[in-house]
Structure 1
Amino acid sequence: MQQSWIGGGMRFSYCTEHDLPDISRMLSKESVCRWLFFEPNTDEATRSYFLPLIGEMWAALAEGRMPDHHVFTARLEDAGDFVGQCALLPVDFNPGSFLIGYQLDDIYWKRGYGTLACTFLVYFAFIVLEGYRLNGDTVAGNTASRRVMERCGFVLEGTQRRYWHAGGGYHDRLIFGLLKSDLALERLSRLGETFTAEHSVAV
């Protein structure tokens, strides 16, 4: 099974336990967690969330089957520096529908990496997994995340008022969606050309 893909100068790989120190460091920052529903994470909280997902993914890969969850680490292709992480999580009772998520370390903001990470998720969901729908959400005040999804073709589908409590206040939740059928065949073809699967490594 494939474990790593490259495109746009970045490498997206299935997350491993070795990636957790970098993820934990990122999620301990107030700047990164500003618009998230949780406060800056402790190392213990980060590990307790990611370890079961990592275990499920790598057990599936070792058996030659597709994991249920897809959590990726994003690193610079050449230097290997940690940029962030992104994920596709299944939507219950809706095969082929996924919830997207992405967080970038603050030193890599405003460089187009968020859009690239979201584009990779679109590619993976629609080309690799042959899914039909992607779901995304963000706090109304998080204009950067909203722009990322809009650049990738997501459509605003609704608002849940005062949904999130973060930073001592209540915030509206913006709900976005993207259907595979929304994308022209030419764009789907370009997605397939943007990301290249690296050779498989035994797990």
Structure 2
Amino acid sequence: MKHWIETERIILRPITLEDARDMFEYAHDHEVCRYVTWDAHQSVEQTQAIIRDFFLPKESNEAWIPTFAVVLKDTHKMIGTCDTVAPITIDGNVEIGYSLNRTYWNHGYATESCKALCAYLFNEEGVRRIKIRHHVDNIGSRRVIEKCGFIKEGVERQLVKFEDGYADIAIYSMFKEELK
């Protein structure tokens, strides 16, 4: 199965080890990492190991959905990732997430990537329901999520531990007919 998604300005394609330098560029940025559950990367070598250990398939698996590299069409630069954070459940539920190089914030790339991934999951993978969540203080992610058409379900209080303590996490979901 082909795992490439193309929009007007970006291509979503499976991440590769060749993306390590571009990923490190944003993954070591503490502002990018402020509201995520992973620590800032310390070296390109660490980024390569993370790609190898967490993002590449371990064996031939047709049900595997890759972590997509968000790549600008005009420059071919990898500027982030957009992916499912867990396998699709037996009843068709999946959670997604994304991360983007701060240089490219506020240009619509996160929204474009997220919408494209959602359309792919609904239309190609037969997903029934998509969930996404964010740290309640992450206003940028909230805006992206709302622009994509997700509906807020609520807030799970003190759900995730960050450096400064436990944080409240807003939970959203979407069905195919709600995709904008």
- Relative to the length of structure 2, the TM-score reads 0.87
Deviates most, 136-145 or 89-98: 89-98
Aligned residue for 1:22?
22
Shift of 1:94: 3.2
Give 1:128-167 correspondences, 5 Å limit: 128-167=124-163
Amino acid at match of 1:26: Y
Aligned counterpart, 2:6: 6
Q: 1:25 to 1:120 in 2, by over 3 A?
A: same
Given the superposition, is the C-alpha separation of residues 73 and 58 from structure 1 closer, same or farther in structure 2, using an over 3 Å criterion? farther
Query: Quick check: 1:68 aligned with 2:64?
Result: yes
Query: 1:166 deviation in Å?
Result: 2.3
Of the structure 1 ranges 85-94 and 99-108, higher mean CA displacement relative to structure 2 is found in 85-94
CA distance 1:111–1:133, change in 2 (3 Å) = same
> Counterpart of 2:149 in 1: which secondary structure?
coil
1:5-154 superposed matches below 5 A: 5-43=5-43, 45-56=46-57, 59-60=60-61, 65=62, 67-91=63-87, 93-154=89-150
User: Could you report, residue by residue, the CA deviation over 1:31-85 in whole angstroms, capped at 9, with x for unpaired residues?
Assistant: 100111233123455444432444317844xxxx3x4232101111121122211
Q: Which residue of 1 aligns with 2:175?
A: 179
- Identity percentage of aligned residues: 26
Max Rg structure: 1
CA drift of 1:131 comes to: 0.9
C-alpha RMSD over aligned residues: 2.2
Which consecutive segments of 4 or more residues in structure 1 shift more than 4 A? none
Between the two structures, name the one with larger relative contact order (CA 8 Å, sep ≥ 6).
1
TM-score (norm: length of structure 1): 0.78
How far has the Cα of 1:93 moved from its partner? Answer: 4.2
Residue identity matched to 1:96: G
What CA distance in whole angstroms lies between the structure 1 residues aligned with 2:146 and 2:111? 9
Q: Which runs of 5+ in 1 are unaligned?
A: 188-203
| Structure 1 residue 181 displacement after superposition | 4.3
Q: Which structure 2 residue ranges, 5 or more long, are not aligned?
A: none
